[in-house]
Copies of this chain bind each other. A is one copy, B any other.
Amino acid sequence: MKNINIGILGCGTVGTGVAKILIENRELISSRVGALLTLKHVADLDIETDRGVAFDKGVLITDAYKVVDDPEIDIVVEMIGGEGIAKDLILRAIDNGKQVVTANKALIASHGNSLIKAADEKKVDVAFEASVGGCIPIIKSLRESLVGNHIQSMTGILNGTCNYILSKITDVGTTFEKALVEAQANGFAEADPTLDVEGFDTAHKLAILGALAYGMEINLKDIYVEGISGIAPMDIEFAGQFGYRIKLLAISKNTGDAVEARVHPTMIPFDNLLSNVNGSLNAITISGDSVGDILLYGHGAGMMPTASAVVSDVVDLARNLLSGIKQRIPVLSYQREKIRRIPVLPIDDIFTQYYFRFSVADRPGILSKISGVLGSHGISIKSVHQKGRKSEGSVPIVMLTHLAKEADVKKALLEISSREVVNDRPVIIRIEDKDEQEKS
């Protein structure tokens, strides 16, 4: 039976999971692939800790470069993370003609274009299914299952930490701060949660998906990013009264000459399946011109689910090697010469619906002033809710708008603030409601 040798760089959580699957499900994988996948080396600075995996003697080594330089290793699996040593090692593996698998979204989002160019020059594959949505086969779906479709939009819950926190606030009515502490205690959030809760991790993933879907270069820097740290329990409660839940969404729309690409807390109706995706789970809806809407759902993080996606990449590349081929599918889904620079629409130019919460003094005439300013900027109000609780001399006025342009909204809110009819900076949350968008 043929044999493919695998080397793993980094034996943290996911690296350990990949080793576990390759060792424990070796026979199963071989019965599907028709060859043996052998874990030749796992490189980690710590080779002492017992990871609960039965490594053969000599498999664990400390020198990662020995893995990427080993002429017997066919596929290198980078599980170190970050943009430093991981990038060097991947470039060296590519240079050595290895097939490469990684789950490193930050690296792909920030340096993917140059890495993939290097891979194209060496005619090797770089696979990164686990970089977006953990175990969810989103990258394979975009590159293969939806290959006959113009992708029109993608809407995803792509960060388990944020979804866990928002679900907690929704279910228990706790604050963001308390939910974050609980998420950290339960292993759903890092000690430094910034990358997750401020939306940057989601933006990394959206940058990758946009490239695969639309045939553009990976473009992280133009994505609009807003996190969930400003979400108050009160806004989640009001959302519920309007039939909405708040999720941190990655939203991308192909408008033809440009794409929208934005990450922000978003209200979505109860009957949108995404609103029922709770806890640390991830899900994404993709719309294509033939397929309509499909939704893919599963664990977006965690040792074994993420490892499952990494192993699917390893097997994909092993199957290529066993057939004597490489780059059966272009890494970024489109032929290199077809990849274009498609501009990302500035956030000011998007049209969407809005939720506003104004904190106002409880006296007459305020509502009329606010709605007057909104109207003068062409912003049409869909509903108003004013019977909120009084707190520190203020009452909340909550409004939902019809579709409006972000730039107009900003101008209107600035004017409202400057007229001193409101006590605090207004809260703005964007709404995605297909029914409303189809009407307009």
Contact = CB atoms under 8 A, between A and B. Distances in A.
A28 B254 CA distance: 14
B325 A215 contact: no
A144 interface: yes
Contacts of A283: 295
Contacts of A293: 298-299
Contacts of A290: 17, 21, 25, 135, 304-305, 307-308, 311
Interface stretch (A29-37, A192-200, A348-356): A29-37
Contacts of A146: 308, 312
A431 interface: no
A288 interface: yes
A296 interface: yes
A142 to B, nearest CB: 10
Residue in A25, A150, A294, A314 whose Cβ sees the most chain B Cβ within 10 Å: A294
A145 interface: yes
Interface stretch (A162-170, A257-265, A329-337): A329-337
Nearest to A297: B295
A117 to B, nearest CB: 17
Residue in A144, A271, A291, A314 whose Cβ sees the most chain B Cβ within 10 Å: A291
Contacts of A302: 292
Contacts of A297: 273, 294-297
A334 B31 contact: yes
A123 interface: no
A57 interface: no
Nearest to A26: B148
A147 B32 contact: yes
A437 to B, nearest CB: 19
Nearest to A134: B291
A187 B295 CA distance: 24
Contact of A325 (B307, B316, B324): B324
A145 B139 CA distance: 10
A255 interface: no
B148 A308 contact: yes
Contact of A149 (B22, B25, B291, B333): B25
Contacts of A215: 31-32
A32 B288 CA distance: 15
A292 B311 contact: no
A129 B338 CA distance: 27
B295 A135 contact: no
B323 A305 contact: no
A330 B298 contact: no
A334 B32 CA distance: 4
Contacts of A25: 148-150, 289-290
B311 A147 contact: yes
Contacts of A31: 215, 334-335, 338
Given A273-B273, A308-B290, A334-B31, A137 B135 contact: no
Contacts of A323: 323, 325, 328
Contacts of A144: 137, 140, 312, 315-316
A114 interface: no
A309 interface: yes
Interface in A88-121: none
Contact of A308 (B28, B291, B328): B291
A385 B298 CA distance: 36
A147 B312 contact: yes
A17 to B, nearest CB: 7
Nearest to A339: B31
Contacts of A311: 147-148, 290
A129 B147 CA distance: 13
A383 interface: no
B298 A294 contact: yes
Top 7 A-B residue pairs of the complex, sorted by shortest distance between their CB atoms: A148-B311, A294-B298, A137-B145, A290-B308, A31-B338, A295-B297, A291-B308
8 contacts: A21-B290, A25-B290, A28-B150, A34-B335, A137-B294, A140-B145, A146-B312, A149-B308
